[in-house]
Structure 1
Amino acid sequence: MHIAIIGAGVSGLLTALELIEQGCTVTIFDQQQAGHAASWAGGGILSPMYPWRYPREVNHLAQYGKCMYQEWNAKLQPETGIDFEIHETGMLIFDETDFEIGLNYKDQYQEPMQHCEYLEREALEQVNSHVSEQFQHAIYFPQLANVRNPRLLKSLITYLKQHPKVEVIENTWIEKFNFHNHHIQSIQTSNTKHYQADQFVITTGAWSNCWSEQLHLSIPVEPVQGQMLLFKTPEKWLPTMCMNKVMYLIPRLDGHVVCGSSMDHLGFDQRPSVQTQQNIYKACVEMIPELANFPIVKQWAGLRPSSPTGIPYIGQMPEIENLWANFGHYRNGLCMGPASAQLLRQLMLKQQTLVEATAYSPQRLKSNLSNVV
């Protein structure tokens, strides 16, 4: 089976990986360089931030993220020479209003990644001695990890580009689908070139709404800008991830600390702003005052594919027999990515699914359209 995947972010790349493992042939298209949109720009926390604030369907997929990335890293690293750098730092959350609900969530669902404990100041200092004195307690998630997403993407792209069953076509905008009845015969690029395949997959993230008119659907996915800062500290200086008021600090193995993130509805504008940079800087130094002693080495912004509930659209698109979806992951595309790709592969190849698939079905898009009409 030959499958065309439109979009080479983490969702498209992992979908390709799942399908070639089953013997499929894959062509991946991207409007720019592969892996350079939201997937590259995010922080790489392998859990939803405050999982109790999300629908269960988000957490059902996210709980597989860490173990699946560990398995893929073990398989790909010998071939690519690139380590994803899955860093098991644990996380401290300082939001007092979330302490009780976080601890209750842990007891109710018994998900290993979400095991947490309440720490008072003395125990907190033993876990992370750099935390500001203003925080006298926290909840601590010892099993949470982060993945260094630029390295993850580089490994995926390197592996796929050298694979005999994969073609990657970059800097190519797919203009339209060419239909016959309820079947896509080919896709057409902006320079009128046609590509045929047996099945087609949309993994276009924040750009997914652009298909609404052609498909006669209302696709409620829009870009939400998130801005980030990068500090450089000594290696292993910051021992844990930290979070307060939706702002987070993520230590990398080499001493870089990723800080974010903002939420701005600015269309497709990816330009960082000075005011947002200052807001992030202030929030981060409030958590870890000593960060002020270290240089900011980079700032950037990316576009999240916002969707109404954060539950992605995974499965067959309405009324088109060979078109599939894997988009709309909002803030959790990296941690849901491996399980989302596996679920789509299982649906496409009519295999048993790892989770109940109905809640993710793109058939929901038909009800969106009826609401608009």
Structure 2
Amino acid sequence: MKIAIIGAGISGLLSALELVEQGCSVIIFDQQQAGKAASWAGGGILSPMYPWRYPRAVNQLAQHGKSLYLEWNEKLKPVTGIDFEIHDTGMLILDESDFDIGQRYAQQFDEPMQQCQLLKQPQLQQINPHISEQFNQALYFSQLSNIRNPRLLKSIISYLKQHPRVQFHENTWVDHFHIQQQRVTSIETQSGQQIQADQIVIATGAWSAHWSQQLNMSIPVKPVQGQMLLFKTPEQWLPTICMNKVMYLIPRQDGHVVCGSSMDELGFEHRPNIQTQQNIYKACLEMVPELEQFPIVKQWAGLRPSSPTGVPYIGKMPELDNLWANFGHFRNGLCMGPASARLLRQLMLEQPTCVDPSAFSTQRLTSEALSTR
């Protein structure tokens, strides 16, 4: 089976991995370089930041993220020589208003990574001595990890590019579909090239609403900008992920600390602005004042694919026999990505599914589009 995947972010790349490992041939298109949009820009926490704030469907996919990434890293690393750097740091949540609901969530759902304990001084200082003294308590999730998403993407792209059943078309904008008798017969690029495939997957992230007009439906996905800062500290300096007021600090193994993130609806504007960066910087120092001693080595912004509930659309598109969706992951594309891609592969190849697919059905597009007007 020949499958065209439009979009080479984490959703498209993992979908390609799942399908080529099942013997399919895959053609991957991206409007820029593969793996350079939101998937590269994110933080890489392998959990929704506050899981109790999200629909159950989001957590059902996210809970498989770490185990599937461990499997893929074991398979890809010997071929690519690139380690995903899955970093077992645990996470501290400092928001007092979330302490009770966070503990109840851990008791209610059988998700080992979401087990937590409420730390008080001096336990908190033992776990992370750099936390500001203004915080007397924190929820500690000892099982949570982060993944170094630029390395993850680099490894997957390297693996796919050397695979005999994979073709890449980067810097190629897919303009529209040719449709006959409820089938996409070919896709056409902006340069006029037509390419045929048995099945087509839309994995275009924040750009997914582009297809609304041609498919005669409203696709309620829009870009939401998130900005980030990167500090450089000594190796292993910050021992845990830290969260407060939806701002986070994520330590990498080499001492880099990723800090974010903002939420701004600015269309497709991806340039950082100074005021937002200053707000992020202030929030970082509120959690860990000692960060002021270390240099900021990079600043950037990415465009999240916002959807009405944060639940992605995964499955066959309405009224078309060979067009599939894997988009709309909003803030949790990296942690939901592996299970999303596996579910898509299972649906496409008519295999038993890892989760109930009904919550992710594209039939929701009409009702959810109406609710956002």
TM over 0.5: yes
Cα RMSD (Å) of the superposition?
A: 1.0
Alpha-carbon distance in 2 for matches of 1:68, 1:118: 29
- Can you list the C-alpha shifts for 1:156-177, whole angstroms capped at 9, x where unaligned? 0000000000001100000000
Alpha-carbon distance in 2 for matches of 1:38, 1:316: 24
Alpha-carbon distance in 2 for matches of 1:300, 1:215: 33
Number of the residue aligned with 2:181: 181
Deviation at 1:48, TM superposition (A): 0.2
1:273 matches 2:273: yes
Q: What secondary structure does 1:69 align onto? A: helix
Number of the residue aligned with 2:170: 170
Residue ranges of structure 2 left out of the alignment (5+ in a row): none
Deviation at 1:367, TM superposition (A): 3.0
- Can you list the C-alpha shifts for 1:247-271, whole angstroms capped at 9, x where unaligned? 0000000000000000000000001
The 5 Å alignment of 1:35-184 reads: 35-184=35-184
**After the TM superposition, which parts of structure 1 deviate over 4 Å for at least 4 consecutive aligned residues?**
368-373
Deviation at 1:121, TM superposition (A): 1.3
Deviation at 1:131, TM superposition (A): 0.5
* Alpha-carbon spacing, 1:352–1:130, altered in 2? closer, same or farther (3 Å): same
Q: Report percent identity of matched pairs.
A: 71
- Can you list the C-alpha shifts for 1:16-50, whole angstroms capped at 9, x where unaligned? 00001100000000000000000000000000010
Alpha-carbon distance in 2 for matches of 1:292, 1:21: 46
- Can you list the C-alpha shifts for 1:46-84, whole angstroms capped at 9, x where unaligned? 000100000000000000000100000000000000000
Number of the residue aligned with 1:227: 227
Residue ranges of structure 1 left out of the alignment (5+ in a row): none
Number of the residue aligned with 1:257: 257
Number of the residue aligned with 2:327: 327
- Can you list the C-alpha shifts for 1:231-262, whole angstroms capped at 9, x where unaligned? 00000000000000000000000000000000
Deviation at 1:371, TM superposition (A): 6.6
Aligned length: 373
Alpha-carbon distance in 1 for matches of 2:308, 2:218: 12
Alpha-carbon distance in 1 for matches of 2:118, 2:336: 27
Equivalent residues of 1:125, 1:131 under 8 A apart: yes
Alpha-carbon distance in 2 for matches of 1:370, 1:222: 15
1:3 matches 2:3: yes
The residue type paired with residue 244 of structure 2 is: N
Deviation at 1:366, TM superposition (A): 3.1
Alpha-carbon distance in 1 for matches of 2:293, 2:2: 53
* Alpha-carbon spacing, 1:80–1:283, altered in 2? closer, same or farther (3 Å): same
TM-score normalized by the length of structure 1: 0.99
Equivalent residues of 1:318, 1:366 under 8 A apart: no
Q: What secondary structure does 1:299 align onto? A: strand
Q: What secondary structure does 2:347 align onto? A: helix
Equivalent residues of 2:313, 2:325 under 8 A apart: yes
Equivalent residues of 1:116, 1:141 under 8 A apart: yes
Deviation at 1:368, TM superposition (A): 4.4
* Alpha-carbon spacing, 1:239–1:359, altered in 2? closer, same or farther (3 Å): same
